[in-house]
Structures are given as C-alpha cells and as structure tokens.
Amino acid sequence: MVKIQKTILSRVEGEIELKLIWEKGIIKDAFIIAPNFRGFEFILEGKPILDSLIITPRVCGICGHAHLMATVNALENLYKNAGYNIEISKKANLIRLITLSAEIVQNHLRWFYLFVFPDLLKLETYTEDLSEYIPIKGKQWQKAIDFSSKIVKVIAIFGGQWPHTSYSIPGGVVCDPTTFDITESISIVDSMIKYYEENIIGMKYENYLSIEDYKEFIEKSDKDLSKFLKLCFKHNLHKIGKAYNRFLTVSNIYPIFSQGATKRKKYNFNIKKLEEIDTYSFLTKKGIDFNGKKYSWAKAVRYEGFPYETGPLARRINNKDKLFLNLLADLKDTYIPRIWARIDEIIKLLLAMKKWLQEIDIKEPSYIKPKKNIKELEGIAYGLCEAARGSLIHKLEVKEGKIKKYDIITPSTWNLGPRCEKYLSPAEKAIIGLDNSLIAEMVLRSFDVCSVCTTH
C-alpha cells in the first residue's frame, strides 16, 4: 500500500515542504516543495537600474551580500558589454572578497551546529559527552552562535551593516577603511582560526590541510568534526544521500574556488548551456499555472540538459582538493562529503581573508567613478557569484534607463528545485530509497536548505 507523508521542514531559512511517497517501508518518490511565492524578479521590473543594489540583498537574510555581489557583477558587465572599461582598484576587489567570505563562514558555522548536529542527537541517547551540542543549552552550540556573530562584524566594518548591506557599487566600494579597521578585522579572523583549530578540527590548520582521507583525520582528531564523523559511521550515514555525481561552480576565487562543470571530467563552464525549466513549477513563461502535476514555485535548472549539484562539495571537487577527491572515491557524493565540504571551506576562507586583509593598501582609491552614466546603457548582462550554498547567477536586461527584466538562479534552485520531464532534482534523487523520514530530512538539510532563495 502506498503511503503519502508530508512534512514542513523546520530549522531552515524559510519553509520547505517535503512530500514522501512510501511503499513497503521504502521512500519510492520525493517532492521538495517551495510553497511561498516572493516575486523579487517582478519587483525589479521597471525600476531604475541602481535600485537593484538596494533590492536584491533583501532576497535572503543569510546570503544577501552574495546577491549584492551578483548584482554588482551584472552591472559592471553591462558596462563591459557596451564597450566601456570599468576600473576597479585592487583594494576594492580585496574588500569585496573579504566580506563575501565572511558571510559564507558565518553561514557554514551556524548551519553545522544549529541545523545538522541537532538531527544527530535525535539518533543518540543523550549522554554527557553530547550534551554540549544540545540547542540553546549546549556549550558548543553557544560558542558557534558567538563566533558566527563575530565574523559578520567584518562585514559591518567594511559594509556598514549586515545583513542587507549595499556598500558595493559599479566602480568599487563606498567604504574607506583605516588601519585600525583592518587591524580589528585581522584580530577577528585570528580568533576565528583559533576557535576552529581548538573546537572543530582539534589540531593546527597546517596539519589539517595535509589530511588526505577520513580515516587519518578521525584517528588524529577528537573534536567536533571528528565526533560528527564517528556518529555518522555509527549510524551508517556514510551510505546515504547520493545524488548525480555532477558538480557545478560558476566563478573563481583563487585559490579556493575554481569555475567549472565536472561530469567524470572537468569542463569549462559556459553560461549558454544553462536552462530553466518550468514543467513542474507554478511560475511559467506564460504566467502562473496551477495545473495538476505542478508542485513548487521554484523552477528546475539544467546544465547541458542535466541536473548538477552546486555548493561547497562541488567547489571542492572542481578545485581538485585531494581530500575531497579521495572522499568522493571512498564515499561517493553522499551525506558526509557534502557536510564536511562546508566545514572544510571555513578554514580555507579564513586563511584567505587574513592574507587579503594584509594586502590592502589604504592609499588606493576605494571607488573609481565609471566614465559613462549607467542610465545611458542598454543591453543584457550576467553576474556570477559563489554564495554560501553554491553558485548564484543574476541576469539583467536594461532598456531606456530602467530594468526591463531580472532573472535570478540561486544555489537552492539548482539543488532543491523541482524535477523536469527526465530528471529529479539532486536533493530529490538523494532521498529516494531511504527507509526513515528523519534520515530523509537530514539528507535534505545536507544541501543547506533555503526556501526564500529557492523562490526569491
């Protein structure tokens, strides 16, 4: 007998509904439903071009800075496509990288302790050893909140506020940091690195970065990441959550992120091979449609016709990190590598942030005014960015000084969007075949669910 189970997933950004189709105790089909329509793309239509710098950071309360950067990239590419050179100082570029990285770090840290660990506790009998991870009361839970709040102060130092800052504009940034600002930021990053070493990996970062497989790490560490991995193996979570083994990253941040699409081999990313499909979406090219088979406000995204996973695991694979190539060989594209990739990214971003902060020359200009008024530009441009949850794409069409059309493809749309005629989304595929609804929710959370980004 077929059984249908619907769950509103908590502990995510916004709300996501998970609909499971059970048969003989096994999940035979899964639907990830984004139930709320927000309409940012429609709000932007007809607005003055620079209004996008204020509006798009409001798409998400967690990764709003990434949306700002995607918009700025699109506006600067609008200049380039029209034949006008945009000059950006090294100082402005460094500040943009630093603030974007700070946002990603805060997301990964909160997600691991607030969203992932509480599920593991449900599989265990509470013991004194694990009580430090109990939400609200646990010592490690509280530390994660403290340090994830600390790193966003770096964004506030340069961007004036977080979330929803709009400090980056075509031509640079509008802040003019002092030596004290940079010193304070380095101090925050240093404290984060120390926290990461003492609490998450249990060793100096130099030693961690030489680790090449999970057995070596578990043997050498007894801190939070190691405890997480041991619990996963204890409950056979190393066998769950396999998706398509296809990975996409749309932009570069040297030496951490490398643009590319990996399907057995790595290929260059080509934006022309990307397609949005509305077969199962309420939102279509012809308007809103509630016919029977449609089930989500999100659209499916395909690259060369195939679903691709985006996010930290994709970034680690496309960057050819030895540890994650080995994890992929041993454990496939499953629950553990997907979560570990997010934790791994924290230290790599912190080390890069410290280097970038030390390279800032405060004598350089923060902003170089473009030589052409943006109101006089017309055309189409893309803005690409790596956000906390993965690859983010903004597409802008401008005519007569106003936004004619704005299209946003978020990381959550790649991973959690609906199916198309041929393929399930990566997250839907990863859930099918499981025999436990809690485990199904854990697999879904391993993609770092954000419904507000999914439907934007």
**Residue 189, token pair as written in the block:** 């990053």
Q: Which DSSP letter does residue 132 get?
A: G
For residue 120 the two structure tokens come to 């593991």
In this predicted structure, what is the pLDDT of residue 296?
Answer: 94
Largest alpha-carbon pair distance within the chain? 72
Phi then psi for residue 257, to 5 deg, are -115, 135
Residue recorded with tokens 């329509």: 37
CA distance 79 to 253: 22
Q: Which helix H or strand E contains 413, and what residues bound it?
A: helix 411-416
Cis peptide bond prior to 57, omega within 30° of 0:
no
How far, in Å, CA of 375 to CA of 320, rounded? 42
Q: What whole-number distance in Å separates Cα of residue 429 and Cα of residue 443?
A: 10
What pLDDT, in 10s, does the model give residues 218-239? 999 999 999 999 999 999 999 9
The yes-or-no verdict on residue 414 having pLDDT over 70 is: yes
453 is in an annotated binding site: yes
- Cβ-based neighbour number of residue 290 at 10 Å: 7
* Spans of all domains in the chain: 2-455
**pLDDT bucket at 68, cuts 50 / 70 / 90:** very high
Cβ neighbors of 295 (< 8 A, separation 6 or more) are 19, 31, 33, 280, 418
**Is 41 labelled a binding residue?**
yes
pLDDT band, very low/low/confident/very high, at 15 (cuts 50, 70, 90): confident
Q: Within 13 A of 174's CA, how many CA atoms are on the CB side?
A: 12
Q: Are 216 and 323 in contact (CB under 8 A)?
A: no
76 known member of a binding site: no
Residue 307: asked if its preceding bond is cis (omega within 30°), the reply is no
Among 209, 102, 208, which residue's Cα sits nearest to residue 150?
Answer: 102
Give which of 188, 172, 12 is closest to 101, Cα–Cα: 188
The whole-chain average pLDDT of the chain stands at: 94
DSSP per position, 297-363:
SSPEEEETTB--EESHHHHHHHTT-HHHHHHHHHH-SSHHHHHHHHHHHHHHHHHHHHHHHHH--TT
pLDDT at 126: 60
pTM: 0.96
Q: What is the pLDDT of residue 11?
A: 62
Q: Are 33 and 16 in contact (CB under 8 A)?
A: yes
Tell me how far apart the alpha carbons of residues 91 and 179 are, in angstroms, rounded to a whole number: 13
**pLDDT tens digits, residue range 242-280?**
999 999 999 999 999 999 999 989 999 999 999 999 999
DSSP per-residue letters across 373-391: -GGG--EEEEEEEEETTEE
Structure tokens at 378: 């017309």
Region 45-68: mean pLDDT is: 94
Q: Which helix (H) or strand (E) holds 5?
A: strand 2-9
When pLDDT is cut at 50, 70 and 90, the band that residue 128 belongs to is low
Tens of pLDDT, residue by residue over 132-187, are 999 999 999 999 999 999 999 999 999 998 888 899 999 999 999 999 999 999 99
Calpha distance 238→251 (Å, rounded): 29
Q: What tens digit of pLDDT does each residue of 291-313 get?
A: 889 999 999 999 999 999 999 99
420 is in an annotated binding site: no
Torsion sign across C-alpha atoms 184, 190, 193, 194:
negative
* Class of the domain covering 2-455: mainly alpha
Q: Assess contact for 141 and 131: CB atoms under 8 A.
A: no
Average pLDDT over residues 88-92: 98
Q: How far is residue 82's CA from residue 378's CA, in Å, rounded to a whole number? A: 8
Count of C-beta atoms within a 10 Å radius of residue 31: 20
Rounded to 5 degrees, φ, ψ at 307 are: -75, 140
Mean pLDDT of 392-401: 96
Beta pairing class for 379-387 and 390-399 = antiparallel
Q: Is 54 annotated as a binding residue?
A: no
Contact 37, 282 (CB under 8 A): yes
